[in-house]
Chains A and B, each alone.
Chain A
Amino acid sequence: MAPAVVITGLGAVTALGGDVRALAAGLAEGRCGIGRVALFAPTGRAVAAEVREEASAVVGCLPPATARRLSRPDRFALLAAAEACRTAGLEPEFGRDAGVYVGTTTGGMLATEEAYRRRRAGEDPRFRLSRLLGTPLATAAAVVSQGLGLYGPRETFSTACSSSALAVAMAADAVRRGVVPLALAVGTDGLCRLTYAGFDALQALDTEPCRPFDRDRRGLSLGEGAAALVLETDAHARARGARPRAAVLGWAATSDAHHVTAPHPDGAGALAALAGALADARVPPDAVDYVNAHGSGTRQNDAVEIGVLRRVFGRRLARLPVSSTKSQVGHCLGAAGAVEAVATVLALDDGLLPPTVNLRHLDPAWDDLDLVPEAGRRAPLGVAVSSSYGFGGHNVSLVFGRAAR
């Protein structure tokens, strides 16, 4: 019998604010963090969920020379990770064997593209290494590890929009198998010109804040930020007096093997991930109380996703709340999986369903469904699912359970 894996610490930096408290409050109020892009002059009209609080607080113990060279996503990751470790009440001695599992898609690309632009334009006579240090995606994991004294195994995953969902799954797997006594799962990504322009060129962005599941949805809204979760076995948590916020019951990851950007029209891979996760969790579909959808707001994704949910949950779907927190924090790409895992854990722990905001007209094909429109709602939740679907067909579903009191 595999040991139970629990979550004992949470951290988050999003457009709704610089910590979990701000995220929870924003989600509950149905506040939308998507607005004008101020970080750079956008090449299109799409809005995004930008992290407004300039994370200037110095956290962790990094030498000043290192701290001042951190890319934005590295800073977000360190802040979120520090909050997670703090709320988990982690003493330094637990850092020695703690694993660090990170998901990200572009790392420090904003600084990289600017350094490149300046060099090409001759504004810099030489490339500035100090601006390129955050380019390798593995940097965030190194920052978190060195900044917080975590010296177990270190992995960085990059599977597009499911990157940090995979990181959470891998962290849970490592804890479950006893590879590490404790693990930190982190997701981080920052807005950058390349990502913005790329999605815009694919006509995947809405010029207004995204409207997941809306009849007139027109695309996604990019977001940015970081989220972190501390995972350990239930026994380990109780032994050190830590309170579990939720349990990780199971997970599954699949590949569509279909297209480099479009999801499989039948959602076969997504369905396999959801069904596989429920099987891994030994939870029947009937026992699920809430689904935190991928819900990106593109015409394709939302339709395929509802199709998958109908096939797995059948008629019960009408009574199963489903919401997309991307409607409030945007699509945080590599950070999305972790941000949404945190939102799902908050839902279980606080008994509060996050809403799908910006819903004006439900798509008629699913007006029988409960998409938690506009405002958060109190509801006792026992089991919740969070799914993430990445470009190239990489699907991850995570199953969480309310912590035993």
Chain B
Amino acid sequence: MSVPVAVTGLGVLSAFGHGVDRFWAALVAGESGLGPIRRFTAPPGAGPAAEVPAVEARAHVRSPLGRRIDRVSLFALAACRLALLDAGLDPTELPLARTGLALGSEFGNLDETTTFLDRLFARGAANQLLFPNLVMNAPLSYTTIELGLTGPSAMLSAGEVSGEAAVAWGAELVAEGGAEVCLAGGVDELGEVLHQALHEACLLSATPRPLDPCADGFALGEGAAVLVLESVAHARARGARVYARLVPVAGFALPAPVHGWSRDSSPLAARLAPLVADADAVVAAASGEPELDVLEAAALAAALGGRRALVTAPRAATGWFGAAGALAAATAALAVAHDLVPPTLGHLPPARHGLGVAAGRARAAEVRVAVVDGLARGGACRPLRFEAP
């Protein structure tokens, strides 16, 4: 027996700042989060990135263990706290054993892994204080410790759909009655080594243009977004504001190169068609990476079959990172709540295949259904479906 799931809070850390309000305001205003990288020295000629303004550990960390918290874990924790605040939930009053936590990340703690390896290779010595922070589930551990959560929890790592995977896991948990509340979202940080590697492979662009036939690459970003999920009944009982309902949809996979994107959009179009049949808005995975753009544009155009759903690709503004799908999920929930679809930065019409890409300025429209298509390399698809409450 599945119960309807409500999104009642959003916590977002993005290049636009801390908090969902800053995120949404900047996104609908068509601002870009890309800029020169401040945290490290990028290789000459390397493109801009979307960097989250520094987060004060003191603002979010309460436990003594937390003084060693790493940036990725801190982002996750901060996003959780912001989400709870936004939902009007007091962390000290949560039903701890019945509160779930699901976090997704593609690369986890890049910065300290690099530091650890540098010392290991230079001197054969390992930093035992850093090592516990290097496990992929460090954000999960720190957050459960800080908030005292003893309910069901999971750390997921699903490449480009790390955010979607965690949100979907949380939604299923609440829908099946495994938890009263679940914090679900994703986090990834900008890494110097990752940035350099992608730059040297000529995959980055200074001006990402998702879904634009001239797309020539993507820009890196970082951030975190956490959704507060609870049953609609639970939300109503406490008079919570509901952004949208999150309707669990099964994930699936399609034939594709293990490390890349399929060249055949037809199977994807066929699987997406029922999901977007009544969609008013689609939050696309497109980042400006040409292969993905080509696949997604063709698949969405065919799936929508000429219906003019508004398509938006937030990664142009937020940068690309594994957990960017969590911010895409927040975008979809906000689109439903505000009947507003943010523009896709850098996109100059006409779009590939005549897709209705929102560009230039935000579009006001009744958004009863917003779908995040959730595409990852290697053929995985983890869509999310948000509906008006």
Contacts and interface: CB of A to CB of B under 8 A. Distances in A.
Tell me if chains A and B make direct contact, with any CB pair below 8 A: yes
Contacts of A154: 158, 251, 253, 380
Contacts of B127: 201
Given A194-B120, A202-B128, A255-B150, A139 B253 contact: no
A392 B201 contact: no
Contact of B157 (A43, A132, A156): A156
Contacts of B358: none
Max chain B Cβ within 10 angstroms of own Cβ: one of A113, A136, A141, A179? A136
B126 A158 contact: no
Contacts of B153: 159, 253, 255, 394
B155 A135 contact: no
Contacts of A203: 128
10 contacts: A117-B117, A121-B121, A136-B157, A142-B258, A143-B258, A146-B257, A150-B253, A254-B150, A257-B147, A393-B144
Nearest to B199: A127
Interface stretch (B134-142, B300-308, B312-320, B333-341): B134-142
A364 B223 CA distance: 52
Interface string B143-155: 0110111111111
Contact of A392 (B140, B176, B377): B140
How extensive is the interface on chain A, given as a class?
Answer: 35 or more
Interface stretch (A240-248, A258-266, A292-300, A306-314): A258-266
A194 B117 contact: yes
B196 A255 contact: no
Interface in B213-268: 250-259
Contacts of B154: 157, 159, 166, 170, 253
Given A69-B259, A153-B250, A105 B135 contact: yes
Contacts, number: 208
Given A138-B106, A146-B378, A198-B131, A260 B257 contact: no
Contact of A137 (B96, B152, B157): B157
A105 B157 CA distance: 10
Max chain A Cβ within 10 angstroms of own Cβ: one of B126, B133, B138, B256? B126
Given A142-B258, A260-B132, A391-B141, A151 B252 contact: yes
A133 B256 CA distance: 15
B248 to A, nearest CB: 9
A42 to B, nearest CB: 10
Nearest to B203: A129
A391 B252 contact: no
A139 B141 contact: no
A109 to B, nearest CB: 9
B54 interface: no
A384 B253 CA distance: 34
A258 B143 CA distance: 10
Contact of B138 (A143, A197, A392): A392
Given A133-B259, A177-B176, A201-B126, A43 B145 contact: no
A160 B135 contact: yes
Contact of B128 (A126, A137, A198): A198
B255 to A, nearest CB: 7
Interface in A152-188: 152-160, 166, 170, 177, 179
A243 B378 CA distance: 32
Contact of B378 (A69, A106, A142): A142
Contacts of B141: 260, 391-394
Given A260-B132, A269-B150, A394-B153, A136 B322 contact: yes
B114 A116 contact: yes
Contacts of B379: 142, 145-146, 151
Given A62-B258, A200-B126, A201-B131, A136 B113 contact: no
A331 to B, nearest CB: 14
A158 B117 contact: no
Contacts of B120: 43, 193-194, 197
Contact of B193 (A116, A142, A151, A202): A116
A260 B378 CA distance: 32
B136 A138 contact: no
B61 to A, nearest CB: 13
Contact of B197 (A132, A159, A393): A132
A243 B269 CA distance: 38
A194 B254 CA distance: 34
Given A137-B106, A146-B258, 9 more contacts: A43-B126, A106-B136, A132-B197, A135-B107, A153-B250, A160-B136, A166-B154, A269-B150, A391-B132
A157 B145 CA distance: 19
B45 interface: no
A131 to B, nearest CB: 10
B116 interface: yes
A256 interface: yes
Contacts of B152: 253-254
Contacts of A166: 154
A261 B132 contact: yes
B65 A259 contact: yes
